[in-house]
Amino acid sequence: MSGHRHGHSCEGDHDHDETPEMGLQYSLYQKIDKENLECLNEAVEGSGKEVFKTWEDRLNTVKIVESDVDEELLFNIPFTGNIKLKGIIVAGRDDESHPSKMRLFKNRPHMTFDDARIKADQEFELHHDTQANLEYATKVVTFSSVYHLTIHFPSNFGSDSTHILYIGLRGEWQEAHHHGVTICTYEARPNVADHKADVNPDSLTHEIL
């Protein structure tokens, strides 16, 4: 399956799950601007924020999100800086309510379900994962400078509603650098009638600084 790999062994020993290293790797939740995080179609308001939690708390079955009117969920996730996203873990229940597909969009704030009809930057077919064992590796080149991530779960394995226990984000964070915005006005395709000289519009090139 494209873009999928095991974050660690799915069989037997899980002692290393609790190591500090795993907690550090999946600490990007701390860089989420939770005040402005949006979860569309959540049954309980604010519950979508609860699934972005510590590694140690990832299997907490109280802090979950459930979809409302149908099986779709959409998360708009702003960050406090720029991240390089390397992998995602999605844990759910061992039943039909587990999401079956995940679609990622980079730097498109406030997306809606209608907006999500466009082609995603990356898509994954998901497996049942109740223990947060499976990591889905992202295209690092595509997700190397992300200030906003949208995650769309369009379907599950057959239930009327979708349940998610945990979403883990692995990668790097750096402080955003804010530069002044320079607005340049230029003629994209001049009207020949507006120019005294004979100009072929198709021969013009423009350099945007």
**201 lies in some domain:** no
Other CB atoms closer than 10 Å to residue 131's CB: what's the count?
A: 15
**186 lies in some domain:** no
**205 lies in some domain:** no
The pLDDT-based confidence of 43 (bands split at 50, 70, 90) is very high
Non-local (6+) Cβ contacts of 196 within 8 A are none
Could you give the number of structural domains in the chain? 1
Q: What is the pLDDT of residues 13-22, one digit of tens each?
A: 333 345 567 7
Distance CA(168)–CA(170), nearest Å, equals 7
The pLDDT-based confidence of 161 (bands split at 50, 70, 90) is very high
**101 lies in some domain:** yes
Nearest CA to 74 out of 37, 30, 112, 108 is that of: 112
CB 168 within 8 A of CB 88: yes
* Residue range of the domain that includes 146: 4-180
Distance, CA of 112 to chain centre: 14
- What 3-state class would DSSP assign to 21? helix
pLDDT given at position 209 = 36
* Single-letter amino acid code for the residue at 6: H
The pLDDT-based confidence of 12 (bands split at 50, 70, 90) is very low
| Per-residue pLDDT at 194 exceeds 80 | no
| Per-residue pLDDT at 201 exceeds 60 | no
Other CB atoms closer than 10 Å to residue 59's CB: what's the count?
A: 15
**13 lies in some domain:** yes
Q: Report the CATH number that the domain containing residue 22 is assigned in CATH.
A: 2.60.120.470
Give me the residues paired with residue 134 across strands: 6
- Residue 104 φ/ψ, nearest 5 degrees: -115, 140
**141 lies in some domain:** yes
pLDDT given at position 134 = 97
Q: What is the pLDDT of residues 83-101, one digit of tens each?
A: 999 999 999 999 999 999 9
Nearest CA to 51 out of 159, 170, 163, 173 is that of: 163
Non-local (6+) Cβ contacts of 114 within 8 A are none
**208 lies in some domain:** no
